[in-house]
């Protein structure tokens, strides 16, 4: 069977992809770490590129697993190694690479997520076993040496066994990286352990590898712990749907094959296959994996259910609203994929720092060995009269200067934050989003769909004269069932909840820009705007009708001698006011930017206690408002959901999209996504980002402080290797544990 992670095995398939994919010029990839980037030239459909690449990678992987032969790479293609990765290029002119645009692409992650999850669990357990063996053999050697138990060689044997156990995993990593021409921290640790053994410091070498292997196990446990919540989302994705046919029969089909409008049966305990609307039955759903809400959410006819959430107790028949690829759960999965490829500037700095620092410290340590030996006359290899040898000092310097804790200080905090947020419906698209959100001092919010639900609901039914409200609703419900606009959906949903009896409608037609009409119960019924009355035979009577209440929308019903209206209003989210009050308490300026009419916007603003309301704005006006704040030196977070919000989301310092209602345009511009449209999660995200930033500062202080103090002490020969080992590994473990507090405590008051 071919090695599925060997880069050469992937080359033929990727070469074929480059040949077929228009606009793709080169691929830089590492199959082992499952990272891949594509260079493109000219305009290209990014979604098509990602889709085709994912299909190619899955096909290659399937072929490798089954032992297939993917052919050979054409000789005209150029293959090279760049920074430990393989670069595959199409034949082109020498100027083309200067025009390439590189794009990081997600590796197909459904199988990878499950594999990483299982591998992560087994890996930290295996590392813990090795660390335990190293500690046991090291302790045995210490007691044998200290208390002269057995022959002199017995303690050395125990120390050697400890070193073998502690070095087992680092040796695998070092040998793999050396083949790629890279040296890392594992190499430094092995060099110190071997060096300590060569000068007879068996105890220090064993102690170093025990603490190093223990901290590695702890680091992998922290990684496993943070990924566990994220990977649970991948595992919760349904695989099949039980479709109800028109003849009453049932059949299972793959979730990917479900089409909008198809009816499905969902039994108690099953996951909802796709986002859908309940058409029969009552139940409750567990939406904790999407929204973080622990309490079950009741579901009745007309309510929406989300893919991947669990039907708790009642059998339901639901109607698919959108394909599986566009479901709430798949949005989360795609956004998490993006987050894993987007890194904060500070994180990228520490990664580059860690790589170059390894070579730098090796050079400095080698130079200091000769300075101590030839410059200050310190014995080269043997400790004399309580004075440490030059080599011993070099090994100590190598240990205390190794940047393990520094390299882990930022990504560990970001990964923990992304995991905590994903479990609660907050999706950070990389560490940069967390870093930037903590710096925000102005929050601009759209009204419809952000501070309000964006869905109209019927608040009141009136008839003139009073007493015929039920008939008004029945006629409106019967006619609007044939329409498909926001007002119609709200009226139909209200009619279903009220249990209104549907009347038979003939001759239904739409009156452009005004309403609808049809024959109901042998009479013409007209539904629409107030203007319908003002222009018809009821014109004189219409002049005496009550005015429209502020912030409401009205729909009039005219049937023979019956006249009535339905009053609808966009519902304010219950959590909007507490969120705005808390943001104000934190010193953050809040402003509403909306395209709605001023009366409606000010009514909502007054209800929420929001003093700054800017209404009637076009998309370019919203952008201008955000840019004005930026010119004042403010850092703006824009929260929106619609296509008209996409330009100002792009202009904001941090773009935040409502994930449930959010359009593709808004989601593509967003750096933070609030799933299920929970505006209170913006406050949670902000508090989490502030806490993460504090944790990062603490981690940097711990790592840099330890390196600074211990390097200075090591240069002057003031610390033994044993103390250096404790300081280095202790700071690494402390950084990991400190970052894990974000998982345990999550959002805490700022």
Catalytic amino acids?
446
Q: For residues 693 and 419, what is the distance between their CA atoms, to the nearest angstrom? A: 16
**Alpha carbon distance 184, 738 (integer Å):** 24
- The residue among 491, 489, 481, 531 whose CA lies nearest residue 511 is 531
CA neighbor of 440 nearest in space, from 664, 710, 265, 685: 685
The CA distance from 210 to 617, in Å, is 64
Q: Which of 181, 187, 209, 183 is nearest to 196 (CA)?
A: 209
What is the distance between the alpha carbons of residues 524 and 501, in angstroms, rounded to a whole number? 18
Q: Report how far residue 648's alpha carbon sits from residue 637's, in angstroms, rounded to the nearest whole number.
A: 10
3-class DSSP state for residue 724?
helix
For residue 662, the cross-strand partners are none
Please identify which residue in the block is written with the tokens 């913006």: 682
- List the beta bridge partners of residue 555: 566
Task: Compute the distance between CA of residue 316 and CA of residue 270 in angstroms, rounded to an integer.
Answer: 10
Closest CA to 518 of 564, 492, 482: 482
* Residue 80 dihedral angles phi and psi, to the nearest 5°: -150, 170
The answer to whether residues 252 and 244 touch, using CB atoms and an 8 Å cutoff, is: no
Q: 744 is written with which tokens?
A: 């345990």
Q: Distance (Å, rounded) from C-alpha 267 to C-alpha 270? A: 6
Euclidean distance between CA atoms 554 and 740, whole angstroms: 53
Residue 549, φ and ψ in degrees, nearest 5 = -60, 150
218 CB contacts (<8 Å, ≥6 apart)?
733, 736, 737
> What angle (nearest 5°) sits at the alpha carbon of residue 234, between those of residues 231 and 240?
155
Q: How many CA atoms lie within 13 A of 499 on its CB side?
A: 0
Q: What are the backbone angles phi and psi of residue 666, rounded to the nearest 5°? A: -70, -40
Long-range own/partner contacts, residues 141-146 (CB < 8 A, 24 or more apart): 141/202, 141/203, 141/206, 142/203, 145/203
SS3 sequence, 308-344?
Answer: CCEECCCCEEEEECCCHHHCHHHHHHHHHHHHHHCCC
Strand pairing category for 613-614 and 589-593: parallel
Please provide residue 718's backbone torsions phi and psi, each rounded to the nearest 5 degrees.
-95, -10
Residues forming beta bridges with residue 159, ordered by sequence position: none
Instruction: Please tell me the distance from the alpha carbon of residue 141 to that of residue 152, in angstroms, as a whole number.
Output: 10
Task: Kindly state the helix (H) or strand (E) to which residue 523 belongs, with its residue range.
Answer: strand 523-528
């Amino acid at each position: 069977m071919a090695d599925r992670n060997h880069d050469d095995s992937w080359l033929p398939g990727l070469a074929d992809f480059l040949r077929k994919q228009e606009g793709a010029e080169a691929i830089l990839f590492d199959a082992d770490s499952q990272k891949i980037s594509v260079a493109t030239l000219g305009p290209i459909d990014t979604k098509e590129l990602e889709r085709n690449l994912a299909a190619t990678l899955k096909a290659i992987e399937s072929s490798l697993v089954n032992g297939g032969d993917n052919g050979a790479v054409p000789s005209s293609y150029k293959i090279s190694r760049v920074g430990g990765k393989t670069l595959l290029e199409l034949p082109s002119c020498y100027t083309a690479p200067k025009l390439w645009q590189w794009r990081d692409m997600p590796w197909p992650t459904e199988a990878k997520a499950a594999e990483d999850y299982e591998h992560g669990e087994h890996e930290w357990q295996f590392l813990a076993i090795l660390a335990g063996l190293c500690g046991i053999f090291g302790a045995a050697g210490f007691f044998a040496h200290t208390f002269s138990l057995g022959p002199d060689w017995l303690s050395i044997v125990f120390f050697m066994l400890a070193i073998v156990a502690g070095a087992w995993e680092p040796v695998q990593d070092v040998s793999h990286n050396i083949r790629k021409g890279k040296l890392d921290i594992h190499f430094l640790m092995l060099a110190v352990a071997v060096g300590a053994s060569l000068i007879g410091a068996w105890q220090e070498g064993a102690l170093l590898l025990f603490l190093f292997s223990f901290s590695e196990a702890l680091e992998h446990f922290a990684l496993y712990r943070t990924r566990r919540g994220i990977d649970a989302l991948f595992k919760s994705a349904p695989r099949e749907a039980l479709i109800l046919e028109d003849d009453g029969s049932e059949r299972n089909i793959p979730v990917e094959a479900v089409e909008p409008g198809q009816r499905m049966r969902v039994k108690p305990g099953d996951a909802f296959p796709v986002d859908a609307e309940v058409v029969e039955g009552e139940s409750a759903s567990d939406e904790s994996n999407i929204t973080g809400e622990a309490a079950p959410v009741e579901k009745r006819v007309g309510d929406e259910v989300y893919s991947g959430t669990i039907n708790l107790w009642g059998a339901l028949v639901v109607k698919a609203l959108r394909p599986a690829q566009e479901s709430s759960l798949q949005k989360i999965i795609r956004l998490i994929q993006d987050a894993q490829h987007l890194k904060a500037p500070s994180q990228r700095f520490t990664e580059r720092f860690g790589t170059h620092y390894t070579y730098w410290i090796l050079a400095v340590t080698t130079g200091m060995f000769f300075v101590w030996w030839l410059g200050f006359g310190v014995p080269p290899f043997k400790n004399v009269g309580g004075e440490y040898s030059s080599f011993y000092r070099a090994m100590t310097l190598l240990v205390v200067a190794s940047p393990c804790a520094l390299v882990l200080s930022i990504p560990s905090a970001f990964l923990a934050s992304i995991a905590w947020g994903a479990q609660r419906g907050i999706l950070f698209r990389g560490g940069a989003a967390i870093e930037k959100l903590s710096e925000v001092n102005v929050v601009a919010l759209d009204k419809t769909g952000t501070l309000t639900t964006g869905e109209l609901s019927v608040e009141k039914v009136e008839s003139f004269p009073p007493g015929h409200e039920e008939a008004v609703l029945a006629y409106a419900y019967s006619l609007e069932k044939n329409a498909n606009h926001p007002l119609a959906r709200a009226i139909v949903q209200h009619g279903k909840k009220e249990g209104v009896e549907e009347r038979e409608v003939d001759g239904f037609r739409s009156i452009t820009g005004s309403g609808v009409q049809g024959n109901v119960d042998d009479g013409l019924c007209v539904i629409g705007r107030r203007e319908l009355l003002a222009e018809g035979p009821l014109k004189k009577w219409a002049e005496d009708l009550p005015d429209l209440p502020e912030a409401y929308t009205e729909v009039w019903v005219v049937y023979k001698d019956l006249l009535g209206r339905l009053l609808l209003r966009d519902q304010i989210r219950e959590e909007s006011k507490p969120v705005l009050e808390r943001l104000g308490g934190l010193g953050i300026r809040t402003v509403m930017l909306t395209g709605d009419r001023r009366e409606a916007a000010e009514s909502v603003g007054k209800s929420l206690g929001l003093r700054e309301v800017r209404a009637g704005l076009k998309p370019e006006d919203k952008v201008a408002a955000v840019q004005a704040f930026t010119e004042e030196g403010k850092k703006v977070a824009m929260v929106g959901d619609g296509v008209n919000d996409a330009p100002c989301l792009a202009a904001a310092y941090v773009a935040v999209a409502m994930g449930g209602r959010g359009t593709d345009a808004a989601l593509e511009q967003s750096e933070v996504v609030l799933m299920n449209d929970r505006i209170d999660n913006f406050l949670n995200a902000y508090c989490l980002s502030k806490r993460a930033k504090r944790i990062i500062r603490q981690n940097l202080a711990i790592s840099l402080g330890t390196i600074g103090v211990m390097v200075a002490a090591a240069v002057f020969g003031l610390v033994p290797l044993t103390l250096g080992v404790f300081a280095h590994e202790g700071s690494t473990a402390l950084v990991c544990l400190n970052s894990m507090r974000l998982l345990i405590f999550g959002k805490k008051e700022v």
